[in-house]
Amino acid sequence: MKNYILLPVAIAISTATFAQEKMKHEDTEFYSPVPTVVTPGKTNADPPSDAIVLFDGKNLDQWVSTDHPDQNADWFVHNGIMTVNKKAGNIQTRESFTDYQLHLEWRIPKDIEGSGQARGNSGLFLASTGKGDSGYEVQILDSYKNSTYVNGQAGSVYKQYAPLVNPNRPPGQWQTYDVIWTAPRFNEDGSLKSPAYVTVLFNGILVQNHSELKGVTKYIGLPDYYAHGPEPIKLQAHGDNSKPISFRNIWVRKL
Ligand code: MG
């Protein structure tokens, strides 16, 4: 009885081995499509040749008010950096994106005060799905010796995933986020086809490793999905009383 079962298996293995032996090295070598040539920046922080520069230190031409998208972004630009204007609210990119690679630098004021979530709170919304804080937030916060709920500290997917480690620099120093975002996809009836994924390097250190998002960020309640298409990237003007944070050198590559 055993032989009846094993015989076909033995034939299959020997056939596969025979096929392997018949292969030439060129059978597993491909010549197209040829990857596009991209010129890197002088450092890994500088925009490569195929990036869309979202902020180069000069102006906010690429940004609008989130709550009034017909109005220009009204944050402060000085000495090559942009600083949150809390009165003006959140800002978001003029352009919409689906999947992308993003580089962004942020700095907590050296003389920051406050504690927990009220200490340099801002946020990077990977896709802004509407006014206010709607969308998928990677938290920005002073998490250098400042404790809060771990899925709300800097580098977290807010209220979904804590960062793998805490690589925060002290207030007053520039910090980097390098993000790979895969947007969710939806069926025609609005149901979820495939979830969003995010990978985040924080100061060059992996803090989110292809994390599967459970939906849009919710302050109260569980995250869930609503159908949407390409969306802007949003930066948060958080309503706490601590000093506003600053940004510089923001660029994105569509994938
Ligand atoms: Mg925030």
Structure tokens at 146: 């400042």
Identify the CATH number of the domain defined by range 35-254.
2.60.120.560
C-alpha 62 – ligand 1 centre gap (Å): 21
**DSSP annotation string for 173-200:** SEEEEEEEEE--EE-TTS-EEE--EEEE
Q: What pLDDT is stored for residue 1 in this prediction? A: 47
Rounded to whole angstroms, how far apart are CA atoms 196 and 184? 4
Rounded to whole angstroms, how far apart are CA atoms 171 and 112? 7
Give the sign of the dihedral formed by CA 86, CA 63, CA 101, CA 110. Answer: negative
C-alpha 138 – ligand 1 centre gap (Å): 8
How far, CA to CA in Å, does 195 sit from each of 22, 86, 94, 186, 187? 41, 32, 24, 9, 12
C-alpha 139 – ligand 1 centre gap (Å): 5
Among left, alpha and beta (phi > 0; psi -120 to 50; other), residue 32 is: beta
What residues sit around ligand 1, an ion, with C-beta below 5 angstroms? 121, 123, 236
C-alpha 237 – ligand 1 centre gap (Å): 8
Structure tokens at 195: 């979830």
C-alpha 2 – ligand 1 centre gap (Å): 64
C-alpha 188 – ligand 1 centre gap (Å): 32
Sequential pLDDT tens for the chain (255 residues): 455 555 565 556 566 666 777 999 999 999 999 988 889 888 989 999 999 999 999 999 999 999 999 999 999 999 999 999 999 999 999 999 999 999 999 999 999 999 999 999 999 999 999 999 999 999 999 999 999 999 999 999 999 999 999 999 999 999 999 999 999 999 999 999 999 999 999 999 999 999 999 999 999 999 999 999 999 999 999 999 999 999 999 999 999
C-alpha 11 – ligand 1 centre gap (Å): 61
C-alpha 190 – ligand 1 centre gap (Å): 28
Domain extents in the chain = 35-254
Rounded to whole angstroms, how far apart are CA atoms 191 and 173? 43
C-alpha 157 – ligand 1 centre gap (Å): 10
C-alpha 136 – ligand 1 centre gap (Å): 11
Q: What pLDDT is stored for residue 12 in this prediction? A: 61
- Say what the pTM is: 0.90
Q: What pLDDT is stored for residue 146 in this prediction? A: 96
Give all strands of the β-sheet with 63-65 in edge-to-edge order: 63-65, 91-93, 234-235, 122-128, 135-140
